[in-house]
Structure 1
Amino acid sequence: MESQLGIVEQSLNSSYSLWVREALDEIPDNFTITDPCISGHPIVFASRGFLKMTGYAKSEVIGRNGRIFQGPKTCRRSVMEVREAVREERAIQINLLNYRKDGRPFWMLFHMCPVFSKEDGRVISFIAVQVPLSRRARRSGAGFCRSGVNLLSEEASRISDVVYGTCRREVWSDSLLELSRVCALDSVLGSDVSEREIEEPCEASDVDKNEAASAINRVLSVLTHYSESTGRLVCGKRCGLSGVGLLSSSLTISLGRIKQSFVLTDPHLSDMPIVYASDAFLKLTGYSRHEVLGRNCRFLNGEDTDSLTVHKIEENIQMERACTVRILSYRKDKSSFWNSLHISPVRNASGKIAYIVGVHMEESSYNQGQRGLSPEMKQLSTVGAVKIAVRSSSMGAGSSKS
């Protein structure tokens, strides 16, 4: 859990200047920023307005998925529409019923858009703005009943003389009492009626929609400005691609569920760069994600790495064959470790090779009498899980590899 939080904390730092958080804190809007490249697609920033609106503390939100704000009456179909937008890496504006920390439901206009790397077009984060919506009072009957009793009480004497004439006052009193009971019942049932109204969709006005769009632009402007100092520019629209191939958000999320140490490389691009690195791989090697993506795996080699083993790996990749080798690799801090490396081609739904997966395991970690699957079985199960994720993604979005 601590390692996951550490990765979340570094999410903004790896793409923007260290001052970006202070600048985002100055924006008065209710919004969050999430990172689809981290397992679980967690929130990496929450504005002060958002925290005040929902009643949560920052520590209760950062590192968690936005589903924590959903509740029993949240529309499942709307949630699926948001997930589909994430998978397709596009913007969405939709009305959602969410819940505050104290359990109170509230309607909001949810406007989400992706943030792209200007260099390679990869989605590096999502901005989600939440504009609370209010419902106009549509029921005047209950109000009349609640105020009408007082009106009738004040003018009871006058009305009884005009309307009832010579009727006994007891009859008038009984009628007034019955009216009071009806209105009292309406008052008691008022909470149930309110609950039914909460379940009914609350429509956003044009003003709400414009407010959400303006908030998105304000946040995007800050992110763009503070990405300039790092040289890793971002933008609100996908630019031309260069270098690293793209992974869809759905594939990234599926790969993030695989807990083993592995990387995915693209054999169709020059120098076969890494296009995905698991959290476990980053922990094993000591590198951050932006230091790994776009590079060939040879950066793990060092002065004592056997060149014949490296040649064997390259030969098997060229022949499109799986292989397992024992190779001396080096972490970022220059410390070495014996790496049990399994390489395997990964085919998409059309049967063509889309990626090469490399599963990295430190020998010392499984030479300590650990129970469970053998290292070989762990590697094969990891490869199998990656293949399923890639094939499912290519079937859903259509294969783009040739």
Structure 2
Amino acid sequence: MESQLNTIHQSFDSRYSFWAREVLDEMPDCFTITDPSISGHPIVFASRGFLKMCGYRKEEVVGRNGRMFQGPMTCRRSVLEIREAVRFEKTLQISILNYRKDGRPFSMLFHMCPVFSKEDGTVIHFLSVHVPILKKAQQRRSWSSGVTFSEDGYGYGFSETVRGYCRRDVGDSGSIAELDSRSFAAVDSDDREMEMDDDGPYEAGELEKRKAISAVSNILSVLTHYSELTGRLVCSRKSCISSETGFPSSLNISLGRIKQSFVLTNPHLEDMPIVYASDAFLQLTGYDRHQVLGRNCRFLCGEYTDFAITNQIKESIEAARPCTVRILNYRKDGSSFWNLLHISPVRNATGKIAYYVGVQIEEEEECSKNMERNRLSPEQRHTSVVAVVKVSVRGSSMVAAASSSKSY
């Protein structure tokens, strides 16, 4: 649990620096920031305005998925729209019904947008702005469409409200403009203004939409500024990508469900760096995610590593064939462990090698002597992980192709 919390804090602090928290907390907006690279796509930052609006404490929200804000009348269709926006890494603005901690429902405009790494174009975070919809400024939503409502959804843990909007999916994105603090007076107004009648939620008006766009612009300006201070620049548009090697957030999310220790490396980048590391890999090696991504796997080698084995791995990669080895690796604290390592090429939907997956199993003496009857062998565990990774990569590349065909 402590390791997961450290990962969540590092997700934000290593990218924008600790000082960005203070600046963001002074802003009047209701918003959350989520990280699709962490298992469960959790909230890594929630603004004070958002916490006040929903009635939760920070500790109750950070680290959790946005499904916690869904309820019986949250529209399933809206949840699916949020999910699709996350998969295609697009901005979304949608009205949705969420629930406070005390169980009261309220209508809100959910605006979610991806935040990209300026270096390689990968989605680092999703920013979700939540604007409460006031009764006096709303129009009632039509309920004649036959839409069913369900708590059942597929969440990614976006910002609190954003997540609340999705209840199981991701939030939305933002854009431009300067924010008038008076436009957010609704956040501090009487809660009764945000309550809804029994006949359903409301649609957002132009006022709420302008507020959301303005807030997104201001928040992105802060994130961009503080990312410059850390040297890990972010931007709001995918056009700023410097290469075609970005790691899709939809793939991050699907890989996050795999509990085994593994990494993905990109053979198309210099020195074949790690572009994805599972939570189990971080637990096994003791490193934080930001200390792993962008590095070659040989950083796990040490004084007594047999470099004949590393040459064998290199030859297999050059020949584009899988290999399994037993190699001595080292954790962050300097302790060593025997790694039953399997490496295999992973091809995309067009048949081209997109990544190499490396699956690590720490050798245990008990398992070496006698494998329990109902336990999978190392070979079976290697094979199962590789199979799931391949399916995820192919599916993600098909999604990317579909997204490209829709753009113009």
2:399 is matched with which residue?
Answer: 396
Instruction: String of CA shifts for 1:221-277, please: whole Å, max 9, x gaps.
Output: 221222222111122223544579212111110001001110111222232221111
Cα gap change, 1:213 to 1:350, in 2 (>3 Å):
same
- Paired with 2:290 and 2:333, the residues of 1 have a C-alpha distance of 16
What are the superposed Cα offsets for residues 364-389 of structure 1, whole Å, 9 maximum, x if unpaired? Answer: 38648785222222111111111111
Consecutive unaligned residues of structure 1, counting only runs of 5 or more, are: 140-192
Matches within 5 A, 1:143-182: none
Partner of 1:15: 15
Instruction: Show the counterpart of 2:351.
Output: 351
CA distance in 1, matches of 2:259, 2:26: 37
Q: 1:92 to 1:360 in 2, by over 3 A?
A: same
Query: Which 10-residue stretch deviates more, 362-371 or 320-329?
Result: 362-371
Q: Cα 1:35–1:299, aligned 2, differ >3 Å: closer, same or farther?
A: same
Q: Is the 8 A contact 1:244 1:273 kept in 2?
A: no
Q: Deviations over 1:94-130 (max 9, x none)?
A: 1011111111111100011111112222211111110
Q: 1: CA distance between counterparts of 2:103 and 2:322? A: 52
Partner residue of 1:381 out of 380, 384, 396:
384
Q: Distance in 2 between matches of 1:305 and 1:271?
A: 19
> CA offsets, 1:157-214, max 9 Å, x none?
xxxxxxxxxxxxxxxxxxxxxxxxxxxxxxxxxxxx9312x25xx2222111111111
Alignment partners' CA distance in 2, 1:128 and 1:365: 48
Q: Helix, strand or coil: the match of 1:14?
A: helix
AA aligned to 2:103 is G
8 Å CA contact 1:111–1:128 kept in 2: the answer is yes
What amino acid is aligned across from residue 273 of structure 1 in structure 2? P
Counterpart residue type for residue 284 of structure 1: L
Report the 3-state secondary structure (helix = DSSP H, G, I; strand = E; otherwise coil) of the residue aligned with 1:340. strand
Within 2, Cα distance between the matches of 1:242 and 1:83? 26
What is the 5 A alignment of 1:65-80? 65-80=65-80
Structure-2 separation of matches of 1:366 and 1:296: 31
User: Is 1:308 aligned to residue 308 of structure 2?
Assistant: yes
Match of 2:332 in 1: 332
Secondary structure of 2:49 counterpart: helix
Contact 1:246 1:275 in 2 (8 A): no
Partner of 2:275: 275
Counterpart in the other structure of 1:30: 30
In 2, are the aligned partners of 1:120 and 1:239 still within 8 Å (CA)? no
The structure whose Rg is larger is 1
One-letter code aligned to 2:399: G
Which residue of structure 2 aligns with residue 321 of structure 1? Answer: 321
Aligned length: 344
Counterpart contact for 2:121–2:247, Cα < 8 Å: no
Amino acid paired to 2:198 = E
Which residue type is aligned with residue 64 of structure 1?
R
Q: Distance in 2 between matches of 1:41 and 1:67?
A: 11
Specify the code of the residue in structure 2 equivalent to 1:328: L
In 1: Cα distance, 2:197 partner to 2:115 partner: 38
1:49–1:306 distance in 2 versus 1, CA, 3 Å: same
Alignment partner, residue 245 of structure 2 = 245
Q: Point out where structure 2 has 5 or more consecutive residues left out of the alignment.
A: 141-195, 404-408
Q: Which residue is equivalent to 2:284?
A: 284
Distance in 1 (CA, whole Å) between partners of 2:402 and 2:264 is 17
Q: Which has the higher helix share?
A: 1
Contact 2:273 2:293 in 1 (8 A): yes
> Which residue of the partner structure matches residue 144 of structure 1?
none
Confirm or deny: 8 A CA contact 1:348 1:390 kept in the other structure. yes
In structure 2, distance between residues paired with 1:366 and 1:393? 38
Distance (whole Å) between structure 2 residues aligned to residue 109 and residue 215 of structure 1: 12
The percent of aligned pairs where both chains have the same amino acid is 65
**1:265 aligned partner:** 265
The aligned residue for residue 194 of structure 1 is 197
Counterpart AA for 2:3 = S
Further displaced range: 262-271 or 27-36: 262-271
Say which SS state the counterpart of residue 398 (structure 1) adopts: helix
Q: What is the Cα deviation at residue 302 of structure 1?
A: 1.8
TM-score, structure 2 length as denominator? 0.79
Distance 1:207 1:138 in 2: 12
Instruction: Please provide the CA RMSD for this pair.
Output: 2.3
Tell me, in whole angstroms, the C-alpha distance in 2 between the residues paired with 1:282 and 1:110.
33
Give the match for residue 293 of structure 1.
293
User: Is 1:133 aligned to 2:107, yes or no?
Assistant: no
Q: What's the CA shift for 1:399?
A: 8.6
Do the aligned partners of 2:275 and 2:293 also contact (CA within 8 Å) in 1? yes
Closer/same/farther in 2, CA of residues 29 and 260 from structure 1, 3 Å limit: same
1:310-332 CA deviation, whole Å, 9 max, x = no partner?
11111111222111101111222
TM score, norm. by length of structure 1: 0.80
Matched to 1:374, the amino acid is S
Choose 387-396 or 207-216, whichever is displaced more: 387-396
CA contact (8 A) 1:97 1:107 kept: yes
User: Relative to 1, partners in 2 of residues 1:274 and 1:399: Cα closer, same or farther, differing over 3 Å?
Assistant: farther
Q: Is the 8 A contact 2:121 2:243 kept in 1?
A: no
Contact 2:118 2:242 in 1 (8 A): no
Sort the Cα spacing of 1:379 and 1:105 in 2 relative to 1 into closer, same or farther, 3 A. Answer: same
The runs of at least 4 consecutive aligned structure 1 residues that moved more than 3 Å come to: 136-139, 239-244, 364-371
Classify 1:240/1:130 alpha carbon distance in 2 versus 1 (closer, same or farther; 3 Å). Answer: closer
Q: Distance in 2 between matches of 1:117 and 1:321?
A: 31
